[in-house]
Chains A and B, each alone.
Chain A
Amino acid sequence: MTESSFAQPVPDEWIEAARRGERSAQEALFRRFQRPIYTLALRICQNEDDAMEVMQDTFIKVFASIDQFKQHCPFWGWLRQIAVNMALGRLRKLRRREFTVLGNPPDLTPQRPDDQLDLAGAFARLPAETRAVVWLYDVEGYSHREIADLFGNSVSFSKTQVSRAHARLRELLDGPSGDPLCTTPATL
């Protein structure tokens, strides 16, 4: 199985220098991991501003708590866990905002029932929590147990979310069938 896009080597000297607060080392770490973090955040949150904040929050936390990182683990795994926690935290915040301010999130997708969704568009149409679960399972290689722990839920919750996501994606990708959700979203 292909490894996560986070799985990139980091020289020990970078980590040591970042521990000393050297800006050049922090920048090197940033440049190495900005894409996987931003991609993860954007796929989960589906909003550029939120993704940007998740990425920044992740690096601020990484730099502030880099002493907690244990050298016997891969740096990318530690950093990815922080990024995932930040993205899920943002998702929870967004959900509270939707419920307290907006009610249900508006569907801004242009209605073009004659078009078939591409994969990115179909993925974007999944419910936020489902999106996060299936991304962590399919793309980042998390186990159902790990996902269950992250969400404070059961293993069967994770399995169900993944199974439903796959079914829904297939349904969306198979084209128009009178389903009003078969629309063309902006492709990220």
Chain B
Amino acid sequence: MHDTRDPLKLRGLPQLDPPGDAWAALEARMQPKPRRAWPWAAAAVLVLVLAGGLFLDRDMPLPDRPEDPELAAWITYSQVLEEQLRSVRGRTAAYRGHQAVAMAELEDMVAAIDASLARAESDELRLMLWQQRALLLDDLVAVHAMGHLANDGSDQPTPIVTRIPVTLASNSL
């Protein structure tokens, strides 16, 4: 078969190096920034609890109590979102195809992060994983909420999603 791939030799273009010390830049971005993010995380958790009338599930197995307040906040936030999920899951009978696919993908990613968390040996990695977990759960709640609203348009639905401020997510990851 005649190969029409790359007739203009784009592969011949040079490889490019990122400017500056790219590893240092990445490392800096992966560093936890507890002082800056903590008040936002606390506020986000509080808003969630108040808006949804939720209480933390006391039976939920807790990880070791972290010293780092930011890590503690992300863990708490993650638990609140799980509670939200439990609450919305029972309300919706069916989802549209793309919603079901999105939920399955998000749940797979959360499961993968849980597996990573079980093996994580550094606090830095734990923090990064808990952040990602919470953000994925946040998305998962949002997808469930869309399904709930679409299926239950006649009722006045309880506000079940309060998104964490974008600044928190982008500052901390």
**From B13, B18, B112, B124, contact of A67 by CB (8 A):** B112
> Which residues of B sit under 8 angstroms from A188, Cβ to Cβ?
16
A21 touches B13 (CB 8 A): no
Known interface pairs A38-B16, A65-B112, A120-B13. Does A60 touch B6 (Cβ–Cβ under 8 Å)? no
> Which residues of B sit under 8 angstroms from A36, Cβ to Cβ?
15
Residues in A13-45 with C-beta less than 8 Å from chain B: 19-23, 27, 30-31, 34-36, 38-39, 42-43
B18 touches A138 (CB 8 A): no
How far, in Å, is B20 (CB) from chain A's closest CB? 9
> Which residues of A sit under 8 angstroms from B173, Cβ to Cβ?
60
**When chains A and B are docked, how far (Å) is the Cα of A64 from the Cα of B12?**
33
> Which residues of A sit under 8 angstroms from B119, Cβ to Cβ?
19-20, 67
Residues in A152-180 with C-beta less than 8 Å from chain B: 166, 169-170, 173
> Which residues of A sit under 8 angstroms from B58, Cβ to Cβ?
none
Segment at the B interface, from A47-55, A87-95, A96-104: A47-55
Please report the total number of B residues contacting A with Cβ < 8 Å.
38
Question: Would you call B10 an interface residue if the criterion is a C-beta within 8 Å of the partner chain's C-beta atoms?
Answer: yes
Question: Would you call B11 an interface residue if the criterion is a C-beta within 8 Å of the partner chain's C-beta atoms?
Answer: yes
CB 8 Å contact bits of A56-67 with B (1 = contact, 0 = none): 100110011111
B26 touches A59 (CB 8 A): yes
Known interface pairs A38-B22, A64-B113. Does A20 touch B121 (Cβ–Cβ under 8 Å)? yes
Question: Would you call A68 an interface residue if the criterion is a C-beta within 8 Å of the partner chain's C-beta atoms?
Answer: yes
> Which residues of B sit under 8 angstroms from A127, Cβ to Cβ?
none
**When chains A and B are docked, how far (Å) is the Cα of A42 from the Cα of B14?**
12
CB 8 Å contact bits of B92-128 with A (1 = contact, 0 = none): 0000000000000000010011011001111011001
Question: Would you call B79 an interface residue if the criterion is a C-beta within 8 Å of the partner chain's C-beta atoms?
Answer: no
B8 touches A64 (CB 8 A): no
Residue of B18, B113, B115, B132 most packed against chain A (CB within 10 A): B18
A134 touches B22 (CB 8 A): no
> Which residues of B sit under 8 angstroms from A38, Cβ to Cβ?
16-18, 22
B29 touches A60 (CB 8 A): yes
Q: How many Cβ-Cβ contacts under 8 Å join chain A to chain B?
A: 104
**When chains A and B are docked, how far (Å) is the Cα of A81 from the Cα of B120?**
24
A21 touches B122 (CB 8 A): yes
**From A35, A65, A123, contact of B116 by CB (8 A):** A65
Question: Would you call A77 an interface residue if the criterion is a C-beta within 8 Å of the partner chain's C-beta atoms?
Answer: no
Question: Would you call B129 an interface residue if the criterion is a C-beta within 8 Å of the partner chain's C-beta atoms?
Answer: yes
A39 touches B15 (CB 8 A): yes
**When chains A and B are docked, how far (Å) is the Cα of A25 from the Cα of B124?**
14
Question: Would you call A116 an interface residue if the criterion is a C-beta within 8 Å of the partner chain's C-beta atoms?
Answer: no
B26 touches A21 (CB 8 A): no
**When chains A and B are docked, how far (Å) is the Cα of A51 from the Cα of B15?**
13
Question: Would you call A150 an interface residue if the criterion is a C-beta within 8 Å of the partner chain's C-beta atoms?
Answer: no
Supply 18 further A-B pairs (C-beta < 8 A) apart from A19-B119, A63-B128.
Answer: A1-B5, A22-B122, A23-B122, A30-B22, A34-B17, A35-B17, A38-B17, A42-B16, A52-B22, A56-B26, A60-B26, A63-B30, A64-B116, A65-B112, A67-B112, A67-B116, A67-B119, A138-B5
Nearest first, the 3 A-B pairs at minimum CB distance are A21-B125, A138-B6, A21-B122
